[in-house]
Structure 1
Amino acid sequence: MEESLRLAGDNRAELEAVLDVYSRKPVDSLKLRAAEFLITHMKIHGGVRSEVLADYRKMMVQSDTVVDYHTFNPWWKQLVVDKGDRLEVALDVRTVSAAYLIRNIERAFQAWEQAPWHDEVDFDRFCRYVLPYRFTNEMLADGWREYLARKYYPLIAGETDVRRAFAIIYHAFGRRSSDVAECHYTLDPIALDKQGQMWCDQYCVLMGDVCRSLGIPVAMDWVESWGNYRQQGHLWPVLVLDDGAYTVRRGDTIARKGPEVEGRTIVGRNMPEEDYPLKMAFIKRPLRVWRFSYERQKDEPGLPESWSHPGLEDVSALYGIMDSLVVSLSMADEYLFIGTYQSRDGWTPVRHARSSEGRYVFRNLADSVVYVLMTGEGDACRSQGNPFLLVNGKQIGMRPDTVRRTTVRLTRTFPLMPHWTDQWTAMKGTYIEASNDPDFRTRTRLGSIDRTPLFPDSIRLEGKNCYRYVRYVCDLEQTRMAGLAFFCHGHEVEGHLIGATPADTLLWNKDYTETYKKHSYDRVYTRGIDFGRPVELTSIHFAPKHDRTFVCPGNTYELFYYDGGWRSLGRQTADGYVLTYTNVPVRSLLLLRNVSARGDERIFTYEQGRQVWW
């Protein structure tokens, strides 16, 4: 605690005043311990502030209703344009007042002591998960506990089971989690309560503070990155009781014991036909789970500073991330690292082990993940040897057989996520019609999308079809088209757009990467093409909206295999939607990169004629 008081500078008197208040009466002995807990660990905490954030918060709070992102995003953009986005970090030990801390302590004790589940939350858990006034670096506001408790207590009034109370609050806020907010900084909970959509960390702060205001002990857990996905992690709230941790799934009416990583499984909601060839589920593999901690975590002696995380507690074992690996090496490095491949960033260290007579023991490793050993520190950290797949603590080597070669046919640089095929299912019922009248008074339906489409897809036309005008017709919710092309016996027929806005020209983009635009007020959407004269049509080719990681014509790609480093197997410019590479070493770990427009990419192996992602 003395270190915090020393760092407080001119604010030391404020912190000492809190200790003085609770030192006067023996009845306040627990509150004194709570104050000492807050002040002791306050030295690692702080928040961002700026004139722009203050103005943005004011606009949010003054709103009479919850504000939609269509409103608050323009607020933020204009403020940044007018005033810039210059921020400063304010350390809590130098800025938090005695009045703020005392009010926080009093309200926290009141909520804890009055909660029906008081006996399930001991003092230690209270200090860690009810008492703290912040989760991360969010803004602070006076009176947040009173405001949130007054507003949200009616949701759980009469509920005596804390697990049910937690589930009720979880579902009340679940619909607000979204990635559409332009401002990535976290406001205080009073302002967040007016923000209609928010990032997962912002949502966790709001929901967590609501729970803490009602005496419900809540933590915020975080997957920083995944072992088989992109870097983008995820945060979620966790109920922490004396008998363990609890989380909630969609549809649960009571929190379930044994926490689960939220967002790990991506499952399609709009199920296509039973014989649809693409997978409708994807399981992400978390590499490590952190818990944001108010209490400072102990540093490992000698560990490089870049690996010190004083405000994060490693709770991976609680989530079943428990594989271990022993490596024996003769080298001078005190630390050995183990890394995974991160999209765009390459091999990135995720765990460390300290030498003990030439043995390095890695613990809490994720199962079924491709790893590589690494040495060095920071930007100088480099992979050593070849990667391996870790399954149940056993290594499966991934050294390529450069003597034996095979042929691979590749269609993607990154695994396809089910939320894309969800959107494609919505395209069913749309259709393409043709006419020789510019107003389509007499028209013929050429074809309909009756099944969930693939990428790309086509409609073959029967009989002789000669038309000058063709258009695509869909209702407002079905517009998921990224590209259309018309053919006569294998040759593309071109024309000019009709009934189109400038944005609609993207529909005819040959790399099929943009979405067919629509106006929100259109009940039925039609856009078409005029060929200039009646032409015969034999097929229609189309592509649904996608994530730009399919192989697309005109883009240049480079395929690599790993053998002590990435080795190129050459570049190809795609003339279709499949790349064929011959002379690929058997058992290779591969990586396909879009050189023309680098996007998400993921390592894979080629097994039984398909890409298997790692």
Structure 2
Amino acid sequence: MKDYILFFLILLLLPSCNRFQTYDTESTLALAGENRAELEKVLVHFRDSGRVAYESACFLIENMKYHASKEKINLDPQYADYFGHTDSLYHALFDNITTGKAKEFKGKEYDSLRKALGKEFSLLPEPDTSEPMPDAQSLSAEYLIDNIEKALAVWRENGYEYNKDFDFFKEFILPYRATNEYPDMSRTDIYHRFHAILGKGSSIYEQLEYYKTYVDKSRWINKYTKPKGHLGIYDLYVPKFKMDCHNMTNRSCNILRANGIPTVYEFTPLWQDRGNRHFWCVSPDTSGILQPFTAPDNNLREDWESDIRYAGKVYRRTYGAQKDTPYFIAGEDEYIPGLFDTPLLSDQTFRYHQTVTLRLPLNGKTYNNLAYLCMWAGSEPAIVGWGKIDRKRNEIVYEQVPLNTLFFPVLFDEETMLDIARPFIIYAGTTLEDIPLPLTANTPPHSPKDISIENGNIIDSDTRKAIKELRYITLECDTTQHTDLHLLRKYPDKRRMRAFREQLKGAVLVGSDDERRSFDTLLTIKETPQPYLQEYKFKNEKCYRFYRLSAPTGASVNISHMEFLTSSPKGNAFRSPTPLPVFHKDTVSDTEKMHRVEGRPLKTGSHPEYAFDNNMSTYAGSSSVGMEFRHPVQIDRIRLVPRNANNMIVPGNSYLLMYYDNGWKEFKILYAEHNYLDFKRVPKATLYWLRNLTEGKEELPFFYIDGKQYFLHTDKLPYCE
């Protein structure tokens, strides 16, 4: 009888979604199997709770058919006890100090306690994983009702209005998951675990600052923990998973949403200058503009300049299905690349770059509905975007194409990727006034800049007039013409490494006969050092046993290599100095006889010995580095290499030069005797690629213009200014 009554209620219930917005909950209910009754309880629970509450339930259940966890993580209850203890320790240590003071806190006296915690953690049972069931077949009514009720509390607290805010609410607050993480805690449990931290802030920025500090210091407390597998939400607490940005973004989204902070998950399938992906959170600033941040280590827009602005195409991972994705656009038997074989994507590139709608001529016939865009990712291009094929106009319409980015247009014959046009760049030498700047708008322009390619030129698709501010660059090659290339790098100077070098501006070298006092200043580094071995000469008429180089304002010196030179070793062990780099065949070598004096590295902090280990891949991270010599010695010059990625030409390494001619073609291998390579009579091409065959992985194609390398996506091209 009870089953009959419930069935009758559901019959009444299903059409009731039509009183408001239409939702297809039935397709999910049909897939739910034995869990159908749980989902129906959710609909019944919210049926008479108002439009927002009921449509929230309908929205979650309608789209639940697209969601599942990657794996189910089964943790022993002892983990909750353990992390409860570390949470209590955090509050005892940091509750009564500012976030700034907490960041500076070193707490060396707590090292034995942290080691004891690491030992305690090692005794916990190993995490167990199992194959999860889809959400529709596994989530309980209790879990979903709790999630919706807590989300509705945020709705009420913020005074949201249906017509203006419901679409935002559905993606930024309501969802119980971000992507494929296992939902191991209810929203109420997440709220209670983190509200004491996030509740301190009066703005999203302040809340994120508290969150950053909490996670950072929790990792500090758990320095000696060595988990044998993922720990669900507790992954945030241990250093091992710090670099797992997908996992960190998932967990951060759920934590922030549970505490009323609107958050979504966005990602780039490929950086413009690196061959990998990245994932981050997005929340609104005080003006309502959505700002990215890599959680939990950054605040709103904090890593924009250093990283996120260099994303390629950018997508939001949505909870609700998006009808303008390849998942729905593709033909019945048309192959969809794995990245795009989901309805849960929303193109957000317009928020990160100036973009255009590009209409590219389609040569030849195809039954496909879709073509794609790839970016350079080494030997094989990586698919990063899609376009719709318009057979009537015989063109491909690519939306949100970022300017100044190299793309390879392709389509698929079954699962075989085929080139369909020359690789191209829509190049702008300056900012375009009629396209929104990055991070200034939340929605795409109503009438985006729409361009077409006609006889190799860019024209306005509506007026058919040429657009002078844009240039259509394609990858060409003329093997009948040749050029000589003088090369100094295989990869551009990295932004992070430049920042480290800039910290050395103002560094001071001092000398003394006492390790801790009575220092005389010998040298101040007045300019930012170069990313290679360089020599600093200075006037010094005295002999000292101790020499120390200190970065200004307590910053890390980040020195990869350092040598102390003299013409008279004074009884100290010595050897020949490392030769200074040679960047051209006409460089005159320094013939002055100098000695590199050997000594004992001063104990100044984090691995000071790395500055003297003759390994350019290691570095001293302490605020100073120095040397104690057996006998006082008159040092009057130093040689040093700042921390760097070793991406210049390395003597002793072998390099392969390639050029693009409808695919990458090998030209020649050269062995580097010095810090440069001279390739003669190279086919004249638009783009080249230098590969180090001996060591290192970072490489990026480059243009060669007027005797200089211009790296793809990082350097401004001179002929387009």
What TM-score bracket applies, with the shorter chain setting the length?
Answer: 0.7 to 0.9
In structure 2, what residue type is equivalent to 1:418? R
Secondary structure in 1 matching 2:149: helix
In structure 2, what residue type is equivalent to 1:410? L
1:164-187 CA-partner distances (Å, limit 9, x unpaired):
x44443454456788x99989684
Q: Which residue does 1:373 correspond to in 2?
A: 409
Q: Which residue does 1:559 correspond to in 2?
A: 657
Q: Which residue does 1:498 correspond to in 2?
A: 600
Distance 1:109 1:497 in 2: 67
Q: Which residue does 1:265 correspond to in 2?
A: 305
Distance 2:127 2:149 in 1: 38
Report if aligned partners of 2:475, 2:686 keep a CA contact under 8 Å in 1. Answer: yes
1:360-396 CA-partner distances (Å, limit 9, x unpaired):
3322211111122334469843546643222365431
- The structure showing larger relative contact order (alpha-carbon pairs under 8 Å, at least 6 residues apart) is 1
Picking from 454, 460, 483, the partner of 1:406 is: 483
Distance 1:562 1:215 in 2: 51
- Judged with a 3 Å threshold, the aligned counterparts in structure 2 of structure 1 residues 500 and 380 are, in CA distance, closer, same or farther, namely farther
Q: Which residue does 2:561 correspond to in 1?
A: 483
Picking from 531, 535, 551, the partner of 1:459 is: 535
Picking from 330, 350, 357, the partner of 1:301 is: 330
Deviation for aligned residue 1:399: 0.6
Deviation for aligned residue 1:341: 0.4
TM-score with structure 2 length normalisation?
0.66
Secondary structure in 2 matching 1:403: strand
Picking from 184, 191, 195, the partner of 1:140 is: 184
1:552-579 CA-partner distances (Å, limit 9, x unpaired):
2222222211111212232223233322
Asked if 1:424 is matched to 2:459, the reply is no
In structure 2, what residue type is equivalent to 1:212? R
Q: Which residue does 2:72 correspond to in 1?
A: 49
In structure 2, what residue type is equivalent to 1:341? W
Deviation for aligned residue 1:249: 8.1
Picking from 368, 372, 377, the partner of 1:337 is: 372
Picking from 136, 142, 148, the partner of 1:93 is: 136
In structure 2, what residue type is equivalent to 1:603? P
Report if aligned partners of 2:197, 2:210 keep a CA contact under 8 Å in 1. Answer: no
Asked if 1:37 is matched to 2:59, the reply is yes
Deviation for aligned residue 1:147: 1.8
Secondary structure in 2 matching 1:583: strand
1:189-229 CA-partner distances (Å, limit 9, x unpaired):
xx578679776555655664455345554333322323344
Asked if 1:218 is matched to 2:263, the reply is yes
Distance 2:302 2:356 in 1: 18
Picking from 693, 696, 702, the partner of 1:604 is: 702
RMSD: 4.7
Secondary structure in 1 matching 2:46: helix
- Judged with a 3 Å threshold, the aligned counterparts in structure 2 of structure 1 residues 432 and 547 are, in CA distance, closer, same or farther, namely same
- Residues 140-289 of structure 1 mapped to structure 2, 5 A cutoff: 140-142=184-186, 143-144=188-189, 146-147=191-192, 150-151=195-196, 154-155=199-200, 165-173=203-211, 187-188=232-233, 191=234, 201=246, 204-205=249-250, 208-209=253-254, 212-213=257-258, 215=260, 217-239=262-284, 246-248=289-291, 263-266=303-306, 284-289=309-314
- Residues 102-141 of structure 1 mapped to structure 2, 5 A cutoff: 102-118=145-161, 122-138=165-181, 139-141=183-185
Distance 2:374 2:643 in 1: 34
Picking from 676, 701, 712, the partner of 1:578 is: 676
Report if aligned partners of 1:327, 1:361 keep a CA contact under 8 Å in 2. Answer: no
Deviation for aligned residue 1:308: 1.4
- Judged with a 3 Å threshold, the aligned counterparts in structure 2 of structure 1 residues 425 and 265 are, in CA distance, closer, same or farther, namely closer
Deviation for aligned residue 1:453: 0.9
Q: Which residue does 2:626 correspond to in 1?
A: 526
Report if aligned partners of 1:52, 1:84 keep a CA contact under 8 Å in 2. Answer: yes
Report if aligned partners of 2:687, 2:703 keep a CA contact under 8 Å in 1. Answer: yes
Distance 1:554 1:505 in 2: 25
Q: Which residue does 2:344 correspond to in 1?
A: 311
Secondary structure in 1 matching 2:710: strand
Report if aligned partners of 1:559, 1:590 keep a CA contact under 8 Å in 2. Answer: yes
1:489-537 CA-partner distances (Å, limit 9, x unpaired):
367856755348997775455562211366xxxx86433677xx99998
Report if aligned partners of 1:18, 1:102 keep a CA contact under 8 Å in 2. Answer: yes
Secondary structure in 1 matching 2:476: coil
Picking from 356, 361, 370, the partner of 1:327 is: 361
Deviation for aligned residue 1:293: 1.2
Query: Percent identity among equivalent residues?
Result: 20
Secondary structure in 2 matching 1:580: strand
- Residues 585-596 of structure 1 mapped to structure 2, 5 A cutoff: 585-596=683-694
Distance 1:565 1:53 in 2: 53
Distance 1:128 1:441 in 2: 60
Distance 1:442 1:555 in 2: 45
Q: Which residue does 2:436 correspond to in 1?
A: none
Distance 1:240 1:44 in 2: 30
> Bigger CA drift: 61-70 or 103-112?
61-70
Q: Which residue does 1:347 correspond to in 2?
A: 381
In structure 2, what residue type is equivalent to 1:137? N
Report if aligned partners of 1:557, 1:572 keep a CA contact under 8 Å in 2. Answer: yes
Secondary structure in 1 matching 2:375: strand
Deviation for aligned residue 1:109: 1.8
Report if aligned partners of 1:57, 1:187 keep a CA contact under 8 Å in 2. Answer: no
In structure 1, what residue type is equivalent to 2:525? I
> Gapped runs of 5+ residues in structure 1?
158-164, 251-259, 267-281
Secondary structure in 2 matching 1:552: coil
Distance 1:462 1:325 in 2: 61
In structure 2, what residue type is equivalent to 1:231? N
In structure 2, what residue type is equivalent to 1:601? E
Distance 1:77 1:599 in 2: 39
> Bigger CA drift: 207-216 or 75-84?
75-84
Distance 2:707 2:211 in 1: 44
